[in-house]
Amino acid sequence: MSSNGGPTVAVKLFIDKEKKRVLFAESDKDFVDILFSFLTLPLGTIVRLFNKQSQIGCLDELYRSVESLGEDHFQTKECKAMLLRPVNAAALHCDRLRVKVDDADLTAIYVCFYYGSCSERYFSTVRGIRCRCGTSTISDTRRWPQSSLVAAGETADGIFSKGGSKFIITDDLHVAPSSTSLMFSLMDKLGLHEQLNIKEEVLHLNSNKMIGLLRRALLSKHPLTGLYFNAAITPNGVSSSQLPHNLFAPQAIEAEPKFKPITIKLVQKKDNSSVLYAEVKQDLVDLLFGLLCIPVGSIMKTYSRLSPNGCLDNLYKSVYGAGCVKQDCRSLLLSPKLAPFFGCSSDVLQVEELPRRCHNFPRYLYEMNPKSPKRGDEASYRAYVNGGSINFIVTDDLRIVDFSLAKSLQAIHAAKIPKGELVEKEITLDKTQVLKLLRASLDTRNALSSVLLPPIPKKSVTTSAATTSTPAAMASVPPQPRRSLRLRKPIQPSE
């Protein structure tokens, strides 16, 4: 138990006292299961856990935008709740962790308050939906049964991991079963051939400490060292508009018959130095908001990594390793699904949903679609955001508000750019550009500029008497990041 009364999980750290670094850690299945559970977390859950201070690209702005938009901009009021508290499709597994990272009630489902007399047979994982019987809302709490899963402690295996042995975890979160060959490999990699002043210490980590480790794994290459020495986390200053090559796996850009090109109007500087904002319709907003429901592992599958400064990609690679993860859990971590009805209107990331589920109380209940305003043909409602003639303003850092002339003028005035320096362009985004935009939303706070403006050419130093004196002076000047056109004041909703 921890000092605050909560459950803990133990991990032994091997520490180089002289260099003040954690060389590696050793643990059993309980700690490793929690690490692997990071891959099942929806992005919106991560933003919520860190109080909109995740520092992952534009995710915090997207989350704030959902909070700020009125319920009338969504298909139903429950759509807003779904985006702010997305359901983890692996909830029944994560609920069995010794220490839980997500503080949400993972196994709660809701039925009609008049369940005993209600003639309808539906439930939802989202509280407050109006029951089809018209008598009450679906707000009476029930629990998913654990009968379909092996109870913790009845097998040597863990929840995700193969049990029966210890695991070695490197400082950058590579996980592998403990073995002599692995130890020899670590000795070579870490230079442990000479006698070192190595200290062993067992830490007992509670929920707060594990959430802190998750934060360091998102923003640091040395999360265990940072956790042990309580090192400050350097703020993520990624603002370059130059995205890396090989942005996504080849299968991500395969033809998708459901994808429809997205047309937007871009307001930018004439010299292509920066984007002020884009005027868009429901289709792009729905796709951007839907990103909050995507699990970390699905982002890894498409883009190979999440945050450019973090090391969760090493956890993902460890799932492929022999002896780490149970066979029946590999796809759950490598290609995690969405909870039922949590997909968005575009399948551009090709993340599957779990099928609609049923529950026996003892009579069978079937899951309702929280996005369906009429509770009729529920399968046809996939969008979170209302369609129609409403347009939206999307700033360079993906702050989204409903469009109005007043807000457009406010954006221009706040950026202090003369109108003569601005130009409006209508462009159509294909699937590759949309995938790049989603990638940029995780990498940079200049998402629109990084994808929709031409690359900044490298500058060459001209030859002169002053520049030919040293070879270094002849080197090319690296490209400079674009200046972000951040609004000095957030755009306020109209009265």
Mind listing the pLDDT tens digit for each residue in 54-77? 999 999 999 999 999 999 999 999
Indicate whether 410 belongs to any domain: no
Please, what is the end-to-end C-alpha distance for the chain in angstroms? Answer: 51
Query: Who's near 362: CB < 8 A, 6+ residues apart?
Result: none
Dihedral Cα 485, 488, 494, 495, nearest 10 deg: 180
CA dist., res. 223 & res. 250, Å (int): 30
Indicate whether 409 belongs to any domain: no
Count of residues making up the chain: 495
Indicate whether 243 belongs to any domain: no
Confidence at residue 252, expressed as pLDDT on a 0 to 100 scale? 60
Confidence at residue 104, expressed as pLDDT on a 0 to 100 scale? 87
> Over the range 404-418, which residues count as b (16 or more CB within 10 Å of their CB) and which as e?
eeebbebbbebbebe
Indicate whether 420 belongs to any domain: no
Q: Which residues of the chain have pLDDT under 50?
A: 1-3, 147-148, 150-153, 236-241, 460-479, 487-495
Confidence at residue 246, expressed as pLDDT on a 0 to 100 scale? 58
- By percentage, how much of the chain surpasses pLDDT 70? 79
Confidence at residue 245, expressed as pLDDT on a 0 to 100 scale? 55
CA dist., res. 271 & res. 259, Å (int): 32
Q: Residue 484: phi, psi to the nearest 5? A: -75, 130
- Nearest in space to 290 (alpha carbons), one of 59, 39, 493: 59
Confidence at residue 136, expressed as pLDDT on a 0 to 100 scale? 73
Indicate whether 215 belongs to any domain: yes
Are 351 and 389 spatial neighbours (Cβ–Cβ below 8 Å)? no
Indicate whether 424 belongs to any domain: no
Q: Interior CA angle at 121 toward 119 and 123, to 5°?
A: 130
CA dist., res. 115 & res. 111, Å (int): 7
Summarize pLDDT for 16-48 with one digit per residue, the tens.
888 899 999 999 999 999 999 999 999 999 999
Confidence at residue 31, expressed as pLDDT on a 0 to 100 scale? 97
Indicate whether 16 belongs to any domain: yes
| Prediction pTM value | 0.87
Confidence at residue 34, expressed as pLDDT on a 0 to 100 scale? 98
Confidence at residue 469, expressed as pLDDT on a 0 to 100 scale? 39
Indicate whether 486 belongs to any domain: no
Range of the domain at 312: 9-231+250-257+285-380
Number of independent structural domains in the chain? 1
